[in-house]
Structure 1
Amino acid sequence: MEFEGLLQPLGISYRVSLYTDDVVTFIRPTVEEIRAAMEVLSIFGEASGLRTNFAKCSTLPIQCNEADLQILQDEQPCQVASFPCTYLGLLLSIFRLKKEDLQPLIDKIGRRLPLWMSHLMTSIGRATMVNAVLSSIPIYLLMAINAPKWVIKGIDKIRRGFLWAGKALVSGGACRVAWARVCSPTEYGGLGFPDLERMGLAEGSTQLRHW
């Protein structure tokens, strides 16, 4: 559409992020571009039978003034929302994520514990659950954002508590081995648990190389 003059360049390398039925598009807040985008979606719906459900869509302004916001409200059927938003299960924002945005991730991990009946598990069983489940849940987030240290510490507190006592929180006296040692490779006397901070750095650098 840029080649036909229907959309003006944005100065970014891509306009669309598409995964199955989840789509993000970037357009300028002008009447012409909004109408062109709506027409494209209409033509796609007619051709494929996959029509856009605008009731489940949102418009998130980036660097828009009052006039731009008025155009968005007048010309497109989506609700005008604000950041952060959720896309493919990830929090996205043009601002630094706040504590209230990230705390639900830690709470989500903690809510998994009561389902496992830890009092029936051996220490080896708890170690397996920590390594296979509790350590896996945050990987998706760590691939996308640079999580603050307090998030890592909050998740580690839950992992540590479940490993030693089968619950989300545990006093330092119940911890038999320092957490850094627990996260060491097995050949060095540890349990091989992922070091979430280092893993996040590694995943982030992988994503940068990919892009």
Structure 2
Amino acid sequence: MRALSSFCKASGLAMNNAKSEIFFNGVPEDIREGIKQVTGFREGTMPFRYLGVPIKAGRLTKKECSTLTENMVARIRGMGAKKLSYAGRVTLINAILNTLQNYWAQMFIIPKSIINHIMAIYRNFIWDGSPDYHRVPVVAWDKVTLPKKEGGLGIKKADVWNIATVDWHNYSPPADATWVWKNICKVKENLKDGFHDSKWTMSPKGYSIKGGYDWLAPDQTTLNWTAIVWNNWNIPKHSLTTWLRMHEGMNVKSKLFRFGCCADDWCVLRQRQPETVDHLFTSCVYSWKIKVAMFNAYHYFIWFQRNNARINDWLQRPEVVAVRIKDDIKRRVKQKCRAVVDQSDLLWLQNVVLV
């Protein structure tokens, strides 16, 4: 108590005894009562929450970790996320939801059931704008969680990220450590081959969470189309639409017809041919008239016009669509040119102008 008093005088931070708790382990009852009388603290019970996370000596249960997924669901429902595009939802996951998970992941090995629930929330949110399951995913989750250069969306696998966040190399827990602590310490075994002479071989700067994640994640082949799809000059919703096309994730009429969701499989862009992905983006006459536009903008606007034709039964003239594409790209270039542009982006833009 003298130490706490000295800290208060030095820092100006006063402790509220009435809101403070003290925890005992193996202390006789009479000594407990004496300590509580001297300190004015009330005795707390395990588990308790500190800075929003559960603190306990034993195994964390699904119920005790449910706050994490509840906070994720609350963020989704409270931000009008249903109205976001696919690209907006991916951005929200990486910028906000993954931050919530990362906060917990640096302190605990999150129970597998919660990890699975987090992945389900991410998956449902991307494809339907809701944390609940309403729609069948159009692209396999194993592909979604790949890095962008390998054909994915760059969303981190929650279980692998959890392991990467709590690693350290030269530490062993004492024999009397709690289950939680021992479980966390097991993580380093997953990464021990990444160290050489106690140095992290993935980077000369030492261990990083991203380096650990890349070490644990399976290495895939870099695909030749990813640099075009995910270039910084592209509008995100255009890139996401192209990405769906590359993974055959679009619900064209040929696919819907097989499941009995529509009366026929004719192309809705006024072409008497079956509407497949290849037809819609390659051989459809209407599509050919718009192909002078940029690669990613082309995929986005064709898909937009196709949905308008199917749902609202109207089409814009190809000339009008081309103008809209040019306007969108022009605005994007102006927006990027206000910011700091690196040499690779300038080279990419020069190549586009030459084409």
TM tier, shorter chain? 0.7 to 0.9
Question: Is 1:202 aligned to residue 164 of structure 2?
Answer: yes
- Quick one: which of 63, 78, 83 aligns to 2:26? 63
Distance 1:72 1:128, change over 3 A: same
Shift of 1:152: 0.5
Matched position secondary structure for 1:135: helix
RMSD (Å) for aligned C-alpha atoms: 2.2
Shift of 1:43: 3.5
CA contact (8 A) 1:109 1:134 kept: yes
Q: What does residue 189 of structure 2 align with?
A: none
* CA deviation profile, 1:25-55 (whole Å, cap 9, x unmatched): xxxxxxxxxxxxx122234434554332212
Distance 1:116 1:48, change over 3 A: closer
Shift of 1:129: 1.0
Matched position secondary structure for 1:103: helix
* CA deviation profile, 1:67-119 (whole Å, cap 9, x unmatched): 34323333321111012223344322112222221112111111111222234
Q: What does residue 48 of structure 2 align with?
A: 85
The number of residues matched between the two structures is 172
- Quick one: which of 152, 160, 163 aligns to 1:190? 152
Q: What does residue 133 of structure 1 align with?
A: 96
The correspondence of residues 1-211 of structure 1 with structure 2, limited to 5 A, is 38-171=1-134, 174-206=136-168
Distance 1:177 1:47, change over 3 A: closer
CA contact (8 A) 1:57 1:78 kept: yes
Q: Percent identity?
A: 27
Structure 2 unpaired stretches of 5+: 172-206, 208-355
The structure with the larger Rg is: 2
The residue identity in structure 2 corresponding to 1:92 is: I
* CA–CA separation in structure 2 for the residues paired with 1:168 and 1:91: 23
Q: What does residue 22 of structure 1 align with?
A: none
CA contact (8 A) 2:62 2:113 kept: no
Distance 1:205 1:43, change over 3 A: closer
CA contact (8 A) 1:162 1:168 kept: yes
The residue identity in structure 2 corresponding to 1:113 is: I
Moved more, 111-120 or 184-193: 111-120
CA contact (8 A) 1:84 1:97 kept: no
* CA–CA separation in structure 1 for the residues paired with 2:65 and 2:29: 30
Q: What does residue 184 of structure 2 align with?
A: none
Structure 1 unpaired stretches of 5+: 1-37
TM-score normalised to structure 2 length: 0.45
Shift of 1:168: 0.8
Matched position secondary structure for 1:91: strand
User: With CA pairs under 8 Å and 6+ residues apart, which has the higher RCO, 1 or 2?
Assistant: 1
* CA deviation profile, 1:110-145 (whole Å, cap 9, x unmatched): 111122223421111111112221122110111111
Moved more, 111-120 or 195-204: 111-120
Distance 1:202 1:196, change over 3 A: same
The residue identity in structure 1 corresponding to 2:83 is: L
